[in-house]
């Protein structure tokens, strides 16, 4: 094959831009949960498709890394595949679908079921980094509320949930208190995944490209989901196991099977599902379908 006509810098972004992002990341790690403004650059994908996550990944990735990209838990969706191929091309990095083999996991809307380990980096794609945004539209005001630690407004939202529905109906992007100081948006992960952020051994980095914000949760940091004394936070629960691999206590996707409304519940984490199914097959178990 002939030489490619355009030679990209390693990681696509130029070195100065990577420094900009890294500086924001360092500040974010130093002040867990604080949204650091940064000069978000253009990357070859539309804003809202994970440009923040791509910039964060580009700033921390190197050729010795192994990258996994998931979209709603799945390794094989369009966005996940194209971001993975993008980094294969611009960093010449190894990619994987196995959670435990990855050093960097870029994600949209899920945390893998396989527990994360020390040394791993989670990169979240964040559409709206401001947890107070839909309660207080003024950016100047929300920054002031964060600075002065005035979070009464956040509880108004929770109050309204209980008053109207009798329980918390916020099932994704459920607000968390990071390190006892900043109320933070965990990106739109399901509240099922919220407990996984607490004291996680992995470094968690959040990039919001359109909103030009970066924030971070260092390893082993307290991440508390908000709640009332008499109505504590309850993560989502699923009654039945996955219908492919039989795993319990996992986040399930509802898959519509036919026009008659038949549905099937399967793991949203494709890697975990495959692994569990293989282990079950090796043990000679029949999978309940």
Catalytic positions are 33, 242, 245, 267, 273
DSSP type of residue 172: B
Return the closest-CA partner of residue 119 out of 200, 221, 62: 200
Q: Which residue's structure tokens are 């109207």?
A: 164
What is the phi/psi pair of residue 169, to 5°? -100, -5
Q: Is 64 in the site for other proteins (CB under 8 A)?
A: no
Residue 146 Cβ, how far from other proteins at the closest point, in Å? Answer: 13
Place of tokens 């390794």: 75
Exactly one of 1, 4, 140, 164 binds other proteins (CB under 8 A); that residue is 164
Size of the site for other proteins (CB under 8 A): 17
Q: How far is the CB of 200 from other proteins (least distance, A)?
A: 25
How does DSSP classify residue 285?
P
Between residues 230 and 239, which has the closer beta carbon with respect to other proteins? Answer: 230
Among 231, 264, 274, 280, binds other proteins (CB under 8 A): 231
Count CB-CB contacts under 10 A for residue 76: 12
Give the nearest distance from C-beta 160 to other proteins in angstroms.
5
Please report whether residue 172 would count as binding other proteins according to CB under 8 A: no
Q: Distance from CA of residue 69 to its chain's centroid?
A: 10
Separation of alpha carbons 56 and 204, rounded Å: 11
Q: Binding of other proteins at residue 238 (CB under 8 A)?
A: no
Contact with other proteins (CB under 8 A) among 155, 210, 219, 264: 155
Record the tokens describing residue 260, joined without a space: 């008659």
User: What is the rounded (10 degree) CA torsion for 79, 85, 90, 96?
Assistant: 110
Distance of alpha carbon 149 from alpha carbon 177, whole angstroms: 11
Q: Which is nearer to other proteins, 156 or 255 (CB)?
A: 156
| CB of 45 or CB of 153, closer to other proteins | 153
Please pick, from the candidates 76, 141, 150, 248, the single residue that binds other proteins as defined by CB under 8 A. Answer: 150
Q: Where on the chain is the footprint of other proteins (CB under 8 A)?
A: 144, 148, 150-153, 155-156, 159-160, 162-164, 228-231
């Amino acid at each position: 094959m002939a030489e490619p006509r355009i030679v990209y810098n390693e990681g696509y972004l130029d070195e100065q831009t990577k420094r900009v992002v890294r500086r924001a990341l360092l500040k974010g790690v130093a002040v867990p949960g604080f949204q650091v403004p940064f000069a978000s650059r253009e990357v070859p994908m539309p804003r809202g498709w994970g440009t923040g996550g791509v910039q964060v990944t580009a700033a921390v990735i190197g050729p010795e890394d192994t990258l996994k990209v998931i979209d709603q838990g799945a390794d094989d969706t369009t966005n996940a595949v194209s971001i993975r191929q993008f980094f294969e091309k611009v960093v010449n990095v190894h990619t994987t679908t196995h959670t435990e083999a990855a050093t960097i996991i870029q994600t949209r809307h899920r945390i893998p079921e396989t527990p994360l380990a020390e040394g791993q980096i989670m990169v979240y794609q964040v559409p709206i980094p401001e947890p107070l945004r839909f309660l207080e539209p003024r950016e100047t005001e929300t920054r002031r509320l964060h600075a002065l630690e005035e979070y009464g407004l956040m509880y108004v939202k929770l109050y309204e949930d209980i008053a109207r529905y009798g329980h918390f109906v916020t099932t994704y992007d459920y607000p968390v208190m990071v390190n006892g100081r900043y109320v933070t948006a965990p990106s739109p992960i399901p509240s099922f995944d919220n407990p996984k952020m607490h004291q996680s051994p992995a470094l968690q980095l959040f990039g919001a490209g359109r909103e030009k914000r970066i924030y971070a949760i260092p390893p082993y940091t307290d991440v508390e989901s908000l709640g009332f004394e008499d109505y504590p936070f309850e993560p989502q629960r699923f009654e039945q196991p996955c219908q492919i691999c039989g795993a319990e206590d996992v986040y399930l996707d509802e898959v519509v099977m036919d026009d008659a409304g038949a549905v099937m519940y399967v793991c949203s984490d494709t890697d975990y599902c495959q692994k569990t199914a293989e282990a079950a097959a090796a043990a000679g178990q029949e999978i309940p379908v």
